[in-house]
Structure 1
Amino acid sequence: MNRREPREEGFTLIEVLAATVILSVASMAMLAFFINAMSYNKGNQNKTVMVNLARNALFYMEKQNYATIHNYFIDSSTEKLKNSAISSKDCSTRNICSNNTDLQNLFLNSNMKLWDVLNPKVNDIEYQISVSYQDKLTEELKNDPVKKGMANYLLPIRVEVSVKDNNVNNGRNKPVIVEGYIANETIR
């Protein structure tokens, strides 16, 4: 009779350790990929919130009285730029704006909704919105023979949204900018 010698089958300790090391390295690479994807997703979520806030502020400004906003930005007697932006950066509270009485009057005459539009808080992150007048676009409208008459009916504005405390996402949040026009009531 032929007697077979028992053959031991299985993995050696070195093979198991090598497989474990390879699996660990692959798992670390996948973990880094998922952490990076999560961070990218969070950044895009914040950017989406900022774009929506900018559109909301633009929509709010488009519904405001054309003459009031026009008189805030432009001195009607000289047709020169009087104020460059509507922002709450210079204001310590809803009622107290440091040096700009025009801005303080604008906040007071808008029943305080403007303060809330310019200082929203979403997902425990405070944002700051600035609305600025684009005088270069007005000059382009005035100089264009086809669009010349529109300069008296459209007020070009630029809405910029930024995170109030830029340390929230390690300073990676860049401001979001949306442009639009405030139309005179006669053409609305």
Structure 2
Amino acid sequence: MKLIKILKNNRGLTLIELLVSITILGIVLLSFMNFFLQSSTYTNSNQKKTVGVNVARNVLMFMEKQNFLEIRNFFNEVNTGQHSSEDDFLSLFICNDSYLTFSNSAAESEISQACPQKKNITVNGLEYEATISSEEVSSSEEIDSYIPITVKVRWTIDAREYSTTLDGKVKSEDIR
């Protein structure tokens, strides 16, 4: 009976009741907006990381198509200390719509002579820098069959650097 009286009441809402209800609604909506903002930021970050992993996979596939003996000799020299730098690695660039690798110890003049317009890999307007390194293989039998390599991809967003790595193996043409 009381419920019917409340529903038939023509008095309306006071200004204070209206302000309180709008405030409560605003607090609830702000908490939901914060959730959507965080999920959007997280999704965007994961999208960039997924692209980075795909760039690393693409670099690994490129390395698998290269001459096994040249790659093996380069990383053998690096791992045995025959190169000038112990942390020598290969950097991958785009030159004339194809990939080229250069040692990080190569002179800049040598790189610019081979590829005057070298670029990093660009996807969706974001540049990804790819480097390729190898760890030392324990036995000579293993290095005759495959080379374990690590592809590291780095990118920068708002002066903050992100990276991802991918481990793989380049197999000899004899066992492919």
Tell me the TM-score normalized by structure 1.
Answer: 0.70
| CA–CA distance in structure 1, aligned partners of residues 82 and 126 of structure 2 | 32
Q: What's the CA shift for 1:99?
A: 4.8
Q: What's the CA shift for 1:70?
A: 1.5
Q: How large is the Cα RMSD of the aligned pairs?
A: 3.1
For the 8 Å contact 2:91–2:103, the answer to whether it is kept is no
Q: What's the CA shift for 1:97?
A: 7.8
For the 8 Å contact 1:74–1:80, the answer to whether it is kept is yes
Distance 1:54 1:71, change over 3 A: same
Alignment of 1:37-186 (within 5 A): 37-75=39-77, 80-83=80-83, 84-87=88-91, 99-100=105-106, 108=114, 119-135=120-136, 138-139=137-138, 142=139, 149-163=141-155, 166=156, 168-169=157-158, 171=160, 174-186=162-174
More strand by share: 2
SS in 2 for 1:74: helix
| CA–CA distance in structure 2, aligned partners of residues 40 and 10 of structure 1 | 45
SS in 2 for 1:129: strand
Gapped regions of structure 2 (runs ≥ 5): 1-7, 94-99
Deviation string 1:145-164 (CA, Å, 9 cap, x unpaired) is: xxx7333211110000000x
| CA–CA distance in structure 2, aligned partners of residues 36 and 161 of structure 1 | 25
Tell me the TM-score normalized by structure 2.
Answer: 0.74
Distance 1:43 1:30, change over 3 A: same
User: Which of 14, 17, 36 is the aligned partner of 2:16?
Assistant: 14
Gapped regions of structure 1 (runs ≥ 5): 1-5, 143-147
| CA–CA distance in structure 2, aligned partners of residues 64 and 7 of structure 1 | 84
| CA–CA distance in structure 2, aligned partners of residues 29 and 19 of structure 1 | 16
Q: Which runs of 4+ in 1 moved over 4 A?
A: 96-99
Q: What's the CA shift for 1:120?
A: 0.5
| CA–CA distance in structure 2, aligned partners of residues 48 and 33 of structure 1 | 22
Distance 1:73 1:149, change over 3 A: closer
Deviation string 1:109-145 (CA, Å, 9 cap, x unpaired) is: xxx6xx66xx20001101100000111xx12xx2xxx
| Identity percentage of aligned residues | 29
